[in-house]
Structure 1
Amino acid sequence: MKKSKLLWTIFATFFKIGLFTFGGGYAMIALLEREFIGKKQWIKNDEFLDMLAIAESTPGPIAINMATYIGYSQAGFLGSFFATLAVCLPSFIIIFAISLFFDKFLALKLVGYAFRGIQACVTFLILQAGLKMLKEMKKGVMEIILFTLTVGCFVAFTLFAVDFSSIFYILIGAVVGLVVYLIFDFKKRKKPMLIEEEPPCAREKLQVEDEKEDEER
């Protein structure tokens, strides 16, 4: 694909995502997953999860961070520029238009009810994207233990009404991941190294070859 065509595809895709994303950056997750993993297959699911963690842990809105990351991964600096511009442009245009008649816009009851329906839809999209990513995660023993401990910590914080910023939740998840990895790595090192023996068929083959060499001599 030519660079100009790729940049246009990036711009058009993110403009569409920015135009139809309601409810904040998390509502964009389902659309990004559908576009770039399902349709275009630009990134893999594991990379998408890593990108999501990086976008959440860095300053700025998660939607812009994700757009910048994907754009750069596909077309370098220009890709990140056009992706970021495209995802911000629809919001800028719509908010600018609303600000011209803001009071009249808020007075419309139909608008309020419409946004209530949009909020319910956004909640479903976020939940759907989360469940799909959960299904596609690795199902090893370490991953299951890691997931259980991390979710257990978050549930405990919620029950005891401990309110943290999202960055602290990410740091807690990182600490849990490191602890679980170190425990598994320590157990692997404690296991005695087994010396691999040659299979019987290999030993017999070598013995036959040695006998042939002796006969030739």
Structure 2
Amino acid sequence: MILEIVILAMVAGFLGLRLYSVLGRRAEHEEEQPIPTRFERAEDAAATGRVAAPAPAAAKRRELAGANEAGVRAIAAADPRFDLIAFLEGAKGAYRMILEAFWQGDRETLRELCDDDVYAQFAAAIDAREAAGETLDNRLIRIEDASIASATVEDRVARVAVLFVADIAAVTRDAEGTVVAGSLADAVESRDVWTFMRHLDSAGPDWKLDETDEG
């Protein structure tokens, strides 16, 4: 009897070690997979050595269920390399990059990621802020959700509107660094609908911010 208990204990220990080693390798592998911060199609990510971390199955189902299926399918038919999940990951990266560039007054990054009209709006706001001697100390705490609001393709131009739900802490400081508005201690939910555009015949894979609106 004692011998049987010892054998069972050894078997359980061996199975436990096997399970731990598998899960440990999987966790390490997932932590090492960076999420693209720019719009990358699957083959572009592979070419640069950056592969998007796979989203959980439940998240994939939610994103696909909320998508404008007809528009997404039309874009995928016009460009078979289009991948919705990779696009949404890239959109979240662009959302963060554009917001931070605007807050920091980084016109070069805004010029790269936005079309002319949107860039002009951001630049005008930065000019007004600098003329007033004010700076922004904003923080994007987290992106709660990013889902497709609409998707269209016309004359080989694809447009995808994404609804972002995010928590943002906003602070405005004057020329002396004194807080004149907002608080970093209180994050506020922000709902933005940003429309991204790409000419499907263009050589590059990147999309540009074409329009901004409140969700």
The normalised TM-score by structure 1 is: 0.22
**Higher strand content, 1 or 2:** 2
Select the structure of larger CA radius of gyration: 1
Provide TM-score, normalisation by structure 2.
0.22
Structure in which a larger fraction of residues adopt helix: 1
- Could you say which structure has the greater relative contact order, defined with CA pairs below 8 angstroms and 6 or more residues apart? 1
